[in-house]
């Protein structure tokens, strides 16, 4: 396994550009970078630029991962760059990204099934609960897009890996993998996002482990709030995610899996009382009806995690939502990467140390010289 970082959460990534960001990753002592899409490496998919990035990553001994983007057709208008990449044909745009990524040895490609709208509160911030189209119909649309792209992925020996994103469950990802085929579809396991769907991270890891081909490593606070539960990003090791259990599960299934930190401090732009970052409306009948796969056993285990963390908050071992938010106010989100640099670096380093410690304690080989590229 190798430990790296998602470029979106790397401070100054836009300012430094892809080549400078590779140098920055090396300076931080990390072993790779996960560019969300090939367009983040080269907006025009220029092969000269992409080959230079590949060469620089190889020179520095860093893994290089990429992606294709949001594949929910009902969200396409919110991501105009994807359609522009195909000259107005979004499937052609996705195809170009798969081909360009494969040409530089990136065969594991991130895809996501929706967008999160932080300007809205509660479930309506999430595409799962949009009111113009049902989530079931959105899943059908996502499957159709994946079926169109599957021959391209297969032709290039690539996998389109669906992230456990804000709106989708691990059960739904498994069904999509089964329908389209594990030979070209996999999963990006985000260790904290499933908490927003009331999924226990360990349960989800066990379900998805055979298909996990990329990761987003992060941690979170989940605690009771008016209307349900709040979600707040915390440094890895500082939240409720049990990495001591999860990392061995992932390592056993895929010993060469790259672990890409997707860490940042709380990304709320305003105090909680004005606009909470998240509210998991776990007691709302509409919210609960929207999670038919959630079992009583898993929900009980999930709430046990929440209760145990609240005991730590009550004891003063960890800060509550408000105290943490106040201490971190001004941290950068992915939209604002130009301030709070030193604090953001400290956040990343603290998270990396926790993963390194867990791997050492569990006998997991980390940051070895294992190549991340397929043989040509």
Report the interhelical angle of 135-155 vs 90-103 (nearest 10°): 40
pTM of the model: 0.92
Residue-level pLDDT at 374: 41
pLDDT tens figures, 28-44: 999 999 999 999 999 99
Highest mean pLDDT among 8-12, 213-217, 275-279: 213-217
Whether 173 contacts 164, CB under 8 Å: yes
pLDDT tens figures, 254-270: 999 999 999 863 333 33
Lowest-confidence segment of 77-81, 153-157, 241-245, 363-367 by average pLDDT: 77-81
* Distance, CA of 368 to chain centre: 23
Confidence of residue 368 (pLDDT cuts 50, 70, 90): low
Residue-level pLDDT at 342: 84
The β-bridge relationship of strands 159-163 and 219-225 is unpaired
The length of the chain is 376
pLDDT at 55 over 90: yes
pLDDT at 277 over 90: no
Question: How many Cβ atoms are within 10 Å of 293's Cβ, its own excluded?
Answer: 13
d(CA 16, CA 70): 25
Q: What is the mean pLDDT of residues 13-39?
A: 96
Q: Of 90, 75, 1, which is closest to residue 39 (Cα–Cα)?
A: 90
pLDDT tens figures, 227-243: 899 999 899 999 999 99
Confidence of residue 279 (pLDDT cuts 50, 70, 90): confident
Q: Where are the domains of the chain?
A: 2-219+234-263+340-362
Residue-level pLDDT at 367: 86
Q: Of 299, 109, 290, 121, which is closest to residue 198 (Cα–Cα)?
A: 299
pLDDT at 375 over 60: no
Q: What 8-state DSSP symbol labels residue 375?
A: P
State the architecture of 2-219+234-263+340-362 in CATH terms.
Alpha-Beta Barrel (3.20)
Whether 191 contacts 232, CB under 8 Å: no
* Surface-to-core class of residue 75, CB atoms within 10 Å of its CB (0-12 exposed, 13-18 middle, 19+ buried): buried
pLDDT tens figures, 104-163: 999 999 999 998 887 887 898 899 999 999 999 999 999 999 999 999 999 999 999 999
pLDDT tens figures, 282-335: 999 999 999 999 999 999 999 999 999 999 999 999 999 888 877 775 444 433
Average pLDDT, the chain: 90
């Amino acid at each position: 396994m190798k430990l790296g970082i998602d470029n979106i959460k790397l401070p100054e990534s836009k300012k430094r550009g892809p080549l400078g960001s590779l140098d920055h990753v090396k300076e931080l002592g990390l072993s790779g970078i996960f560019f969300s899409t090939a367009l983040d490496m080269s907006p025009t998919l220029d092969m000269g630029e992409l080959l230079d990035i590949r060469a620089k990553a190889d020179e520095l001994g860093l893994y290089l991962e990429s992606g294709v983007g949001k594949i929910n057709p009902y969200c396409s208008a919110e991501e105009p760059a994807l359609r522009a990449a195909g000259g107005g044909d979004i499937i052609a745009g996705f195809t170009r990204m798969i081909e360009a990524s494969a040409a530089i040895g990136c065969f594991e490609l991130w895809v996501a099934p929706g967008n999160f709208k932080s300007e809205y509160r509660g479930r309506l911030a999430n595409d799962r609960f949009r009111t113009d189209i049902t989530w079931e119909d959105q899943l059908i649309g996502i499957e159709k897009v994946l079926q169109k792209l599957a021959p391209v992925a297969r032709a290039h020996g690539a996998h389109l890996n669906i992230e456990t994103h804000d709106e989708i469950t691990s059960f739904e990802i498994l069904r999509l993998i089964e329908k389209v085929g594990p030979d070209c579809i996999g999963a990006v396991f985000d260790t904290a996002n499933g908490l927003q769907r009331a999924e226990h991270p360990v349960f989800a890891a066990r379900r998805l482990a055979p298909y996990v081909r990329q990761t987003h490593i992060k941690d979170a606070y989940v605690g009771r709030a008016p209307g349900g539960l709040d979600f707040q990003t915390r440094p890895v090791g500082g939240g409720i995610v049990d990495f001591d259990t999860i990392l061995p599960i992932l390592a056993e299934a895929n010993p060469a899996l790259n672990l890409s930190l997707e860490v940042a401090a709380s990304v709320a732009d305003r105090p909680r009382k004005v606009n909470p970052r998240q509210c998991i409306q776990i007691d709302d009948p509409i919210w609960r009806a929207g999670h038919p796969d959630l079992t009583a056993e898993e929900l009980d285990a999930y709430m046990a995690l929440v209760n145990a963390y609240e005991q730590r908050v009550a004891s003063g071992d960890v800060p509550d939502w408000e105290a943490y938010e106040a201490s971190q106010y001004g941290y950068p989100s992915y939209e604002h990467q130009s301030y709070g640099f030193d604090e953001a670096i400290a956040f990343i380093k603290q998270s990396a140390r926790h993963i390194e410690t867990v791997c050492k304690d569990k006998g997991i080989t980390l940051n070895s010289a294992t190549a991340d590229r397929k043989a040509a």
